Amino acid sequence: MMKKTFAALLVASTSFASGLVYAADNTVSQVQGGVYVENDATGCSILRDRVTVNLSTNVTMAYNCMTATNKVNLAACHSAGSQKPTNVPCTSVGEDEDGDPIYNGSNCTAAGVAATPPMQTEIQGRRAFIASTTGGSVGTASLNSATCDMAALGGLSSISQ
């Protein structure tokens, strides 16, 4: 139930109405609006219930159902999203396989996240929104790509950790 609720929370937090597509466990997979992610090895076997998320137009979303660490990592972007350089607050967006925090920027640290105001990380161009069922927040991160597509989302370290 928590994993299903988290997926809904991510969608609400990033202003997307959502939906997931069939894929296999332990694979970065694209979310397709109106298609269920089954709660078995064809979708995500660690989900208690099957999940569907409906995406807004021009939103690309990916998930990685990582069975060994019992977590689902998520990432999304919009093809017409802002590409203006900006600074965003550092935030923890989940944990890696060792239980260490994953941050939305490579320069972010635990002390920086805890600071008042929080440390900032710079995004030079297109941005992504990342999160994990291991906790933390939905964070804005650099997509490191000129285009919002599955190749760019799959290349984010936060989706594969």
Q: For the chain, what are the domain ranges? A: 2-160
Average pLDDT, the chain: 86
Q: What is the pLDDT of residues 68-95, one digit of tens each?
A: 999 999 999 999 998 999 999 999 999 9
| pLDDT score recorded for residue 34 | 85
Residue 101 has pLDDT above 60, yes or no: yes
105-148 tens-digit pLDDT:
999 999 999 999 999 999 999 999 999 999 989 999 999 999 99
Which has more pLDDT, 59 or 14?
59
Q: What does DSSP assign to residue 4?
A: H
CB 136 within 8 Å of CB 92: yes
**pLDDT computed for residue 24 by the predictor:** 75
* Residues above pLDDT 70, as percent of the chain: 86
- pLDDT single digits (tens) 33-61: 889 989 998 899 999 999 998 999 999 99
Q: What percent of the residues of the chain are helix, what percent strand, and what percent coil, each to the nearest 5? A: 15, 30, 55
Task: Look at residue 15 and tell me whether its pLDDT is greater than 90.
Answer: no
Length of the chain: 161
Residues 6+ apart with CB under 8 A from 33: 18, 19, 53, 54, 55
Q: Residue 65 pLDDT > 90, yes or no? A: yes
